[in-house]
Each structure stands twice: as C-alpha cells, then as structure tokens.
C-alpha cells in the first residue's frame, strides 16, 4: 500500500488536547473571510466504521463529492478504491500513486477523449448502460472490464439518478448479447440508488441487489461468469440524517448474503461519496451585514412578550452560489454558534442570506439565534459533501479557504493502516472519535433551532 509523510499533505497537526473546533476559533482571528476546516481524523473514523459495518464491501470513494487532495490522499493511504467520472479525476487519483485496478471509471456516458485517456492509463473497470457506449468502448478501449449499470427505484431520493442513468432490466439481455457480439468482457453489475434521500429507503438497496442477481443470471445464460457487484453510493454522511449508516447496512448485508453469498466468489464494491466526507468539514461564515425587521405576525411568537416580533436578517460571506449550492436541490442547513450564549440571552427568529446580489441567495429561511453583530461568526457542520466541489465565484466572491487538520493519534493510525493494513479485529482496536473536542462541541451544538 501507498504510504505518505506529513510533508505530502497540507494539513496542520492538532496540538495535544486541542480539537478541530479550537483550530476554527484560532482561524477566526486571522481574517473575516469564510473558511472550511476539514478533520482528516473524521475520514479515518468513517473508514473504520465502514469496515466494521460492511466488511464484505470494498469502498471506492466517489471523488466528485469532494476532490480535495488531502482527503483523496488519506483514502489512498487507507487503501480504498476510487470512483472517477472524468479524465481529471483519474489524473488526480493516479498522481497519488493509485494502481489502475483500484479505479472504476463509473460514468456510463463518457467523452471519447477521456475514454482513450483512461484506456491508455490502464483503467479497465468502467460502467455502461447503453448500446452506444458499447460501440464506443469496442473501438477505443484496450481490455475493458465492463460493469452494467442498472436502473433502480430511487423515488425516495433527493437526487434521483434513474432518469438519466441505468438500463432497465428488460433491456439487459439485449445489452449483454451485444457486448458478447462485440467480444467485450462484462464482469459485473452496478447501480446507484441516488443521493441524499429525503425519505431514506434502505429497501432500495435490497431491491437493487435482487435485481442485480437477475442480471447475473441473465449473463450466465449468455456464457458470462460475472464476478463484481457494485452497490453504488448514497450512504448517509452524518448522524443528522434520518437513518444512520448502520440502519442501511443492516438491510444491505442480509441482501448480499441472500443473493451473493460469500461462497459465490462475487466481489462486492461500493461508491460512497458523502459518507466519507460530510461530517469531516465545518464551514465558518462571517456576518457581513445585518438588518432588523419588526413584524406583527410571527410564526414563532413566544407568549407575546414583544421581543420575538423582531426578526433579524444576517448576511454572511458564503451562499447558494458557493458552498450552499445544494439548497437549489432541496438540501436544508442550520447554523451553530461557536460559543455558548449566556443563559438569559434573548433569542430571535432570524433568516440568513448569502453575499451575492441574487434575490434567491438565501441560506436559512428561519432559525433562532441571539442578536449577533457584524463580524461575528456562524458555523455550519457536516459540510464536506458537494459543497467545495460545487461552488462558484459568481459575483466575484472567492471560494472559502480550506484548512485540513488531524490529531497525531489519527495520523499514526493512518500510517499504520497504510503500511500494515487494517488491524484485526477492527472493533476492539479502533480509536474513539477524534478526541474530546467534538464532545465539547456537541454541548454547544445547535443552539439555533428551526422555528416550529
Ligand atoms: C455521485 C455518485 C456516487 C456518490 O454518491 P453519494 O451519495 O455521495 O454517496 C456514487 N456513484 C455514482 C455513479 C455517482 O454518480
């Protein structure tokens, strides 16, 4: 396995007894620009949690979710594979020494020049879901190992996928036959249940796993001996989600055992994105402007003491054209305070707005916060997935700086895993969550609550 030294990374070591939150508070003193802090120890925790909950399934991290070099390097050291969808993603991963066998080119509709690049660089595993793609592969690819992406029922997912990707089961025999006629090797089946489930449905995985079994059987009839099942991404990245990761794996593991028992010899991989990075990152935004509104009718009226008739509008230096892009697709965010308010501090209904001149650039429609001043900070937790990766510099506002931190003990763990592999059993030897500070943080957590 690949091993790195701290010099390969750009992270800062957390000094003994300090945690990411302490680091955030230090950074707040440096400037008023918004910034991210990503705790690589959290990525390590996620990996250990994955291995414990789904030991049969090898994760191939979906690079698009957060392509920060430090994160990718951490996962390289931890030994995961990678799901890449473009030439640039393949370049990034390979520049860190990843063997092509650890990459799946998981984009069923590929640009030919990217395809040629992947082929020339030894990436063999790739997904497809149409005849057209098979024709392209047949003429541009050296030794492809094809994975048939099937459509799944993703009605419960915030970001549905099956309108765009995935072959319907009825079409699979034809596609498999065509692949065979072209002399192409189909090694397995993949699916993606979609992301950020608003109505999370672990059953979508078990349905898809059983559908995949049918496609394996169709393949067998045509003489294919498929050996790879790819269960995609969509796993929750923070414990704020309705269902916890383990509630998904509690459904997935038995479905795998039923349809692809260990003795079947089928290798199972997944393409988690948000799972690995969501909770690692906190975004700190600065209040750059503030307005007050006095209103008669408030949804949050509090025994009519008058104080709550006051609504505050905070303008902060990030927004939906930046790190909060997912609001456009239905994601919702809530701020936290970085320091505890006084016990009797009055709270007000507030809204939080982005810094651009766009009228739709609103981050939080309604929450409860104290009377904060321009120059004070708000925190948003669980900001690692599809934030940095999707932000723009619309209106000339720059993207927040990103600082990575890690505790020395987490670093030692990563080193050890990268040189000696995972300790067995993982259950007993896993370090507790990156020390102390996160528990300190949780006592301050979400003083800001939505108005009910
Ligand atoms: C985006 C994507 C993923 C990752 O999804 P998450 O919800 O972040 O886990 C995995 N596989 C494919 C094919 C994707 O497009």
Residue-wise DSSP of 347-390: EEEEEEE-SSS-TT-EEEEEEEEE---TT-EEEE-S--SSSGGG
**Ligand 1 neighbourhood includes 65 CB (under 6 angstroms):** yes
Indicate which residue of 271, 309, 381, 441 is catalytic.
Answer: 271
CA of 308 to the centre of ligand 1 (A): 42
Q: Which atom of ligand 1 is nearest to the CA of 149?
A: 13
Pair of tokens at residue 292 = 């007050």
Q: Could you tell me if 61 and 75 are in contact, meaning their C-beta atoms sit under 8 angstroms apart?
A: yes
Whether 192 is catalytic: yes
The pLDDT assigned to 444 comes to 35
What is the C-alpha to C-alpha distance for residues 119 and 184, in angstroms, rounded to an integer?
14
pLDDT score of 304 more than 90? no
Whether 428 is catalytic: no
CA of 233 to the centre of ligand 1 (A): 5
Q: Which tens digits make up the pLDDT trace of 28-46?
A: 999 999 999 999 999 999 9
Q: What is the pTM of this model?
A: 0.91
Indicate which residue of 192, 309, 403, 404 is catalytic.
Answer: 192
**Ligand 1 neighbourhood includes 160 CB (under 6 angstroms):** no
pLDDT score of 133 more than 60? yes
Q: Which of 82-96, 115-129, 291-305, 352-366 has the lowest mean pLDDT?
A: 291-305
Percent of the chain past pLDDT 70, that is, above it, reads: 88
Q: Which atom of ligand 1 is nearest to the CA of 235?
A: 9
Mean pLDDT of the chain: 89
Helices (H) and strands (E) in the chain, counts: 13, 16
pLDDT score of 186 more than 70? yes
What is the C-alpha to C-alpha distance for residues 228 and 297, in angstroms, rounded to an integer?
59
Residue whose entry in the numeric block shows the structure tokens 């501090």: 345
**Ligand 1 neighbourhood includes 232 CB (under 6 angstroms):** yes
Helix (H) or strand (E) holding 39: strand 35-39
The torsion angles phi and psi of 255, rounded to 5 degrees, stand at: -65, -40
What is the C-alpha to C-alpha distance for residues 381 and 307, in angstroms, rounded to an integer?
29
CA of 398 to the centre of ligand 1 (A): 27
Mutate-to-test residue for ligand 1 from 157, 232, 237, 385, highest number of ligand atoms within 8 A of CB = 232
258 or 157: which carries more pLDDT confidence?
Answer: 258
Partnered with residue 290 across adjacent β-strands are 314
CA of 435 to the centre of ligand 1 (A): 30
Whether 136 is catalytic: no
The torsion angles phi and psi of 276, rounded to 5 degrees, stand at: -80, -25
**Ligand 1 neighbourhood includes 272 CB (under 6 angstroms):** yes
pLDDT band of residue 299 (cuts 50, 70, 90) is: low
Indicate which residue of 27, 46, 47, 64 is catalytic.
Answer: 64
Helix (H) or strand (E) holding 429: helix 426-429
User: What does the pLDDT average to over 191-215?
Assistant: 84
436 or 143: which carries more pLDDT confidence?
Answer: 143
CA of 196 to the centre of ligand 1 (A): 10
């Amino acid at each position: 396995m690949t091993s790195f030294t701290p010099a390969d990374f750009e992270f800062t070591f957390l000094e003994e007894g300090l945690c990411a939150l302490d680091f955030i508070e230090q950074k707040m003193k440096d400037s008023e620009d918004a910034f991210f802090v990503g705790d690589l120890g959290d990525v390590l925790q996620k990996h250990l949690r994955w291995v414990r909950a789904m030991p049969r399934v090898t994760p191939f991290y979906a690079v698009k979710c957060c392509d920060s070099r430090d994160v990718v390097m951490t996962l390289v050291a931890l030994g995961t594979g990678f799901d890449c969808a473009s030439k640039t993603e393949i370049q990034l991963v390979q520049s860190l020494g990843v063997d092509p066998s650890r990459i799946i080119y998981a984009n069923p509709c590929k640009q030919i020049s990217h395809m040629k690049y992947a082929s020339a660089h030894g990436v063999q595993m790739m997904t497809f879901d149409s005849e057209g793609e098979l024709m392209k592969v047949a003429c541009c690819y050296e030794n492809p190992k094809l994975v048939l992406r099937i459509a799944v029922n993703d009605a419960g997912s915030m970001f549905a996928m099956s309108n765009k990707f995935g072959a319907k089961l009825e079409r699979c025999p034809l596609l498999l036959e065509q692949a065979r006629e072209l002399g192409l090797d189909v090694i397995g089946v993949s699916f993606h249940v979609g992301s950020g489930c608003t109505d999370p449905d672990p059953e979508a995985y078990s349905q898809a796993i059983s559908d995949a079994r049918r496609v394996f059987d169709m393949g067998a009839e045509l003489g294919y001996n498929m050996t790879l099942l790819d269960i995609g991404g969509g796993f929750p990245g923070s414990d704020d989600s309705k269902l916890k990761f383990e509630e998904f794996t509690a459904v997935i593991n038995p479905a795998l055992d039923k349809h692809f028992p260990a003795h079947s010899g089928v290798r199972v991989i997944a393409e988690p994105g948000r799972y690995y990075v969501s909770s690692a990152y906190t975004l700190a935004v600065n209040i750059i402007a503030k307005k007050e509104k006095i209103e008669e009718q408030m949804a949050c009226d509090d025994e009519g003491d008058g104080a709550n008739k006051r609504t505050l509008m905070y303008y902060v230096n990030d927004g939906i054209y930046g790190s909060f892009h997912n609001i456009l697709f239905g994601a919702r965010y809530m701020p936290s305070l970085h320091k505890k308010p006084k016990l009797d501090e009055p709270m007000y209904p507030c809204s939080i707005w982005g810094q651009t001149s766009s009228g739709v650039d609103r981050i939080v429609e309604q929450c409860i916060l104290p009377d904060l001043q321009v120059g004070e900070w708000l925190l948003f937790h669980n900001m690692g997935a599809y934030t940095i990766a999707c932000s723009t510099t619309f209106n000339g506002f720059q993207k927040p700086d990103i600082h990575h931190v890690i505790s020395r003990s987490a670093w030692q763990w990563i080193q050890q895993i990268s040189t000696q592999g995972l300790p067995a059993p993982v259950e007993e030897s896993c370090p507790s969550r990156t020390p102390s500070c996160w528990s300190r943080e949780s006592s301050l957590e979400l003083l800001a609550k939505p108005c009910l």
